[in-house]
Structure 1
């Protein structure tokens, strides 16, 4: 990509004694990893406005026998920030290069929100690298237009994020906006502690340029592809379980239908009473899905 690494966050990390931290250099940047356990490798990709710590409740509930790998995506958390490289194809290249650097030929994959979008891209691009995919709070790549169009208004908040000058200013200088999104997009705002809200607001301020670029690249590349039906020429062969929140006010249940012609094995399941942050709202159910879905998968 030729994207020069400009900074790695020096903020203190949230306390989680169960994980070990390290940095791996791939494609000219340093990606931060939080890891724990040993056994079957499981790669967990966070969404916005979060980082590796998004998984801490789920990880604490998983049994032994898994090697849990939670990277910070390029520009987020404690990974290197660059001037470019935030489109889904570039992030997929980062992830595949990370697996190569770790010596992992095949892993189980879990993704939430933007990490869920990335997970689908990875499974379509390199299906041989993934034994299964657990996607959370995200549409599959073939949503029905008649389900998406009436719900576009739900993405109102992206207008404050995606534009280069406005988005960076809002995310960097208006922590209340991040706090509002986190509270607004769960079924019960009490699932967030004050420490959670403060951490993700501070993290978003530090990664404002990366977050804005991520949204803007989606506007430039992925929305046109969605309109053209580009992904309809691709088929999902990785076994996939898609969990949605029954009360998700961003990705509503009606947007999860319609994958049947494009996927060999994709199951959609709704979590009653849950919103857009299943790892935070229902970590027990996410951990149980990991245990059952990946049981026996290499």
Structure 2
């Protein structure tokens, strides 16, 4: 059995934010949570993507901390959350998120997710819609993509072949920080949006989270892709009001992959952000903050 690993505990936190940090025991792992303020608006659970952690939200949080309580956890094995040998499939991560809400004493929250966090967010809304007042999904296709849109865009996922396989993926993520830096630069519309300190932080964090990162992608191959091919999610309906934002120049999730959810959802809106790539919280934080204000009834700070 693989060893029980604590990820990120020996690295300093990124500075320059008003976040408060704590750790909660959830389903056999010590999960790290960064919280911003305690505004009077809807509490928001904000789920990061790959290859990031809670700090992915710092630009958006700077615009919202007076309106909402922002709860930004590190997913199991990422950032400063404890890593475990198993538990990186979507069903397990859904249970982690629901367990975290229970540990925080929150019955119902707003939900925001980016990239892998947005994929997890869709699954949360299908699994426990009563826990979420609304959902803002960023840079991620929904669970009902049209096959005619998926096939022409498979080439965009080329990089996953370097990550998903158990031996190769862990080696690349652990020992090739340049790969992480390349993905971050390549997947935005303008690489200048990243500061060097941010690139260094995410490269170091990804190296520390190599097991979790590889496992996340591999579990998607084992479970999620077969479920999509079988049409599993066509038997489920999205009842949580949802706003899906994509980048017009997203090199990972093409605009065509965002269409087609309407027959399976009660209330879903899709919008493209002009000139933006795959990292909307980094590239267009004000657009994300304004969308949060629109969806969760509290205007973004101006």
TM-score by structure 1 length?
0.97
Instruction: Tell me if the contact between 1:134 and 1:242 (Cα under 8 Å) persists in the aligned partners.
Output: yes
Q: Residue 3 of structure 1: CA displacement?
A: 9.7
Residue 173 in structure 1 maps to residue 175 in structure 2: yes
Aligned partner (choices 126, 129, 133) of residue 128 of structure 2:
126
Instruction: Tell me if the contact between 2:166 and 2:218 (Cα under 8 Å) persists in the aligned partners.
Output: yes
- The gaps in structure 2 that reach 5 residues or longer are none
2:30 corresponding residue in structure 1: 30
Residue 159 in structure 1 maps to residue 181 in structure 2: no
Deviations 1:183-213 (A, max 9, x none): 0000000000111110000000000010000
| 1:67-106 map, 5 Å | 67-106=69-108
Aligned residues: 295
Deviations 1:3-46 (A, max 9, x none): 98431421111003411000010101110000021132101000
- Secondary structure, counterpart of 1:49 in structure 2: coil
- Secondary structure, counterpart of 1:135 in structure 2: strand
Q: Residue 147 of structure 1: CA displacement?
A: 0.2
Aligned partners of 1:284 and 1:17: how far apart in 2? 17
Aligned partners of 1:279 and 1:15: how far apart in 2? 18
Aligned partners of 2:236 and 2:16: how far apart in 1? 40
- The gaps in structure 1 that reach 5 residues or longer are none
| 1:1-298 map, 5 Å | 5-9=4-8, 10-38=10-38, 39=40, 40-62=42-64, 64-295=66-297
Aligned partners of 2:294 and 2:43: how far apart in 1? 15
Bigger drift between 6-15 and 65-74 goes to 6-15
Aligned partners of 1:270 and 1:286: how far apart in 2? 12
Instruction: Tell me if the contact between 2:37 and 2:65 (Cα under 8 Å) persists in the aligned partners.
Output: no
Instruction: Tell me if the contact between 1:32 and 1:72 (Cα under 8 Å) persists in the aligned partners.
Output: yes
- Secondary structure, counterpart of 1:140 in structure 2: coil
Structure 1 outlier segments of 4+, above 2 Å: 2-6
- Secondary structure, counterpart of 1:132 in structure 2: strand
RMSD: 1.3
Bigger drift between 201-210 and 58-67 goes to 58-67
Instruction: Tell me if the contact between 1:33 and 1:70 (Cα under 8 Å) persists in the aligned partners.
Output: yes
